[in-house]
Amino acid sequence: MEPLSRVQVLIAMGVTALVLLLIARFWLLFDSVVMLSVEFDAEILLLGVAIGLGITGASAIAYEVWPSYRNSANTYLKLVLEPLNWADLIWMGLLPGLSEELLFRGVMLPAIGLNMYGVVFSSLCFGVLHLSGLQQWSYVVWATMIGLVLAVSAVWSGNLLVPILAHTTTNLIASLFWKAKYTTP
């Protein structure tokens, strides 16, 4: 695949976030979904960040022991992160963390049901969103597993802020570590 420019990556992130938010908004127009609450308190903030750190740690282990995942992650992260500057990584954490969680755990999960079926279906859809080619199958498997963790955290806590914080934390830390490891000074 042809390398992308910084502007192309930022536009793609912004457009993707906007499309996901529009899908969520239209879904809410045609379905009477009762979304999970978004309540700020220290315990919720710590829980979300702790789950994000756990996901990041598990990803680091998977990266080391699962060659297919490592290759998929490197292909994706090189395409997306290489053209970005360090300050842009904030957007890499925030945009997917907010838009994907609003759609998959905020709207889809409660619409299907805050049960095993909703958790599994929303997680599968989340995994498929990360499909950028059949050779990236392991990245889809990983994203589906992370979708399960995020969905369970949403159901268990009853608070959409938990998976938002976990997702944002994971994306931000993983991006920072990848950029530090693979950026030449």
Provide the pLDDT confidence category of residue 178 given band limits of 50, 70 and 90: very high
In a domain, 1, yes or no: no
User: How many structural domains compose the chain?
Assistant: 1
In a domain, 108, yes or no: yes
Residues counted in the chain: 185
Mean pLDDT of the chain: 95
With H, G, I as helix, E, B as strand and everything else as coil, classify residue 37. strand
In a domain, 141, yes or no: yes
Q: What is the pLDDT of residue 182?
A: 86
Reported as a single tens digit per residue, the pLDDT across 122-141 is 999 999 999 888 888 999 99
User: 122 near 151, Cβ under 8 Å?
Assistant: yes
In a domain, 130, yes or no: yes
Q: What is the pLDDT of residue 16?
A: 96
Report whether pLDDT(174) > 90: yes
Range of the domain at 145: 6-182
- Amino acid identity of residue 141, one-letter, is V
Mean pLDDT score, 161-169:
98
User: 154 near 162, Cβ under 8 Å?
Assistant: yes
